[in-house]
Amino acid sequence: MDASRTRSLTRGAPLAALTCAAVLLASCSEPAPSAKKDTAATRAVLPAAAEDLQNRYQKVIKEVLPSVVQIQASHDLGSGVVFDGQGHIVTNAHVVGQEKTFKVTTANSEEPLGARLVFSYPDQDLAVIKLDRVPPGLRPAVFADSGKVAVGQIVLAMGSPLGLSSSVTQGIVSATGRTVSEGDTGGGTGATIPNMVQTSAAINPGNSGGALVDLDGRVIGIPTLAAADPVLGGNAAPGIGFAIPASMVRTVAEQIIRSGKVTDSGRAALGITARTVVDAAYHPAGAAVVTVSPGGPADKAGLRPGDVITGLDGDEVTTTTSLAETLAEAAPGQRKRLTYLRDDHEQSAEVTLGEQ
C-alpha cells in the first residue's frame, strides 16, 4: 500500500465514524442497503462456484469411469485402462505378475470377461492385456500430453482400491519429473521409473494400473505406487503417490500392440548386471559389476567383473538403485564419464550409453 493511499484512508476515518454513528441511530436491526446487497451477491457466487466444480467432477467421472476396469489375476487384484476399441488394456506389470490369463470386469459388464497377456515390460512397470471379446460400450480412454501437466492441477484417481471397483479419489499434481524406484518384494518389479507424476490423490493397493485424470477427462498417468514411510513401519505415506506419465504409457503400449514387445525403450543402459557393496562400516559404497555384456557400452569402455562403479558423470553411485536412477535420467547415445574402483584404485572411463 503506497503512502498517498494510506494518507487518504487516514483523512477519511472521522467521516466514516460519523456515517457509522448515523446508521446506528437510524436502525440497529438492519444493515445498510448496499451492504445487504453485496452480502447476498457473495452468498450467491460462492455456492455457484462450488456447484460448477462439483458438476465438472461428475462429468469427468461419467466420461472416464467406463474406460477403467478391474483386473483379477489368480492371487492379485488391480486396475487397468482401456487403450483402444480392439480390447487392449494397459496396466502395471506388477498387476499381471507372472500370469498369462485374467478376469476383467468393465463398467458395463455383468460378468467378468476373459483376457490374455500380450506383453509385460517390468523395466517400466507396464503391461498390455487383451480381452477375449470386446463388449458393447467399451470406451477407450483419451491420453494427455505429459509435457503439459502442471503442478497444482486438480486430478482424480480412478480404480479398484482394496477391491472396491469404480472408486474415485481427488487431489492435485504435487510434482512432476520424479524418478522413483520400486521395491522388488510384495510383487514389485524393482523398476526405476523416470519422470513420474507425484499426486496427493489417495493411491491404495488395487489402484495400480488405473487412471489419473485431469478435469478435461484425459488420462495424465497410470497410478503405480505410494511412497512408503520408514517412520510408519514401511506403511504408505498419506498423500504421496506416483503415476507413470501418459506419454510413456502411450509409447510403450503402442509398441507392444504393434510388435508384441517393446522395441524402443528410450532408456539408457550400461550393459551390465551389478550388486550393491558396502564398506568396512557397512555403508553402501558402490555398484559392483557382476557380468558385462559382450560388445555393450561397459565392455567397450573397458569395465570388467569385479569393478565397483562409484560415479556416473559427477553423480555419486552408492547402490544399484542410485545407479539405476542416474541412468533413468539419461538417454541412449549420451557420453558419460564413469568412475570406478579396480583393486582399490580409482579409475575413470568415457562410456557411450546404450539402450535398455
The three grid cell numbers given for residue 344, joined into one nine-digit string: 582399490
In Å, how far are 11, 181, 238, 243 from 226, measured between CA atoms?
Answer: 58, 11, 8, 9
Q: Are 217 and 293 within one domain?
A: no
Q: Assess whether pLDDT exceeds 60 at residue 33.
A: no
Q: Are 151 and 251 within one domain?
A: yes
Task: Tell me what the mean pLDDT of segment 203-217 comes to.
Answer: 94
Higher-pLDDT residue of 17, 59: 59
Q: Assess whether pLDDT exceeds 80 at residue 186.
A: no
Number of CB atoms found within 10 A of residue 144's CB:
21
Give yes or no: 94 in active site: yes
Does residue 165 fall inside a structural domain?
Answer: yes
Q: Assess whether pLDDT exceeds 90 at residue 39.
A: no
Please, which residues bridge with residue 105 across strands? Answer: 70
Q: Domain boundary at 225, 259, 293, which?
A: 259
Q: Is the dihedral of CA 205, 208, 211, 215 positive or negative?
A: positive
Chain centroid offset of residue 274 CA: 27
Calculated CA dihedral for residues 255, 188, 325, 118, nearest 10 degrees: -10
pLDDT tier for residue 24 given thresholds of 50, 70 and 90: very low
pLDDT tier for residue 32 given thresholds of 50, 70 and 90: very low
Does residue 127 fall inside a structural domain?
Answer: no
Q: Domain boundary at 239, 259, 279, which?
A: 259
Task: Return the CATH number at 337.
Answer: 2.30.42.10
Q: Are 251 and 161 within one domain?
A: yes
Task: Tell me what the mean pLDDT of segment 248-272 comes to.
Answer: 93
Catalytic choice (79, 88, 94, 123): 94
Does residue 95 fall inside a structural domain?
Answer: no
Task: Tell me what the mean pLDDT of segment 126-150 comes to.
Answer: 93
Q: What are phi and psi of 262, to 5 degrees?
A: -90, 115
Q: How far apart are CA 220 and CA 206, in angstroms?
A: 18
Q: Assess whether pLDDT exceeds 60 at residue 249.
A: yes
Catalytic choice (79, 181, 200, 208): 208
Q: Are 249 and 306 within one domain?
A: no
Q: Assess whether pLDDT exceeds 80 at residue 35.
A: no
Catalytic choice (125, 214, 307, 322): 125
Task: Note the pLDDT tens digit of each residue in 60-116.
Answer: 999 999 999 999 988 789 999 999 999 999 999 999 999 999 999 988 777 899 999
Q: What are phi and psi of 310, to 5 degrees?
A: -120, -10
Higher-pLDDT residue of 133, 40: 133
The three grid cell numbers given for residue 329, joined into one nine-digit string: 535420467
Does residue 158 fall inside a structural domain?
Answer: yes
Give yes or no: 208 in active site: yes
User: Cα–Cα–Cα angle for 101, 106, 109, nearest 5°?
Assistant: 105
pTM summary value: 0.77
Q: Are 307 and 335 within one domain?
A: yes
Task: Return the CATH number at 222.
Answer: 2.40.10.10
The three grid cell numbers given for residue 307, joined into one nine-digit string: 569393478
Give yes or no: 200 in active site: no
Residue 226 domain boundaries: 146-259
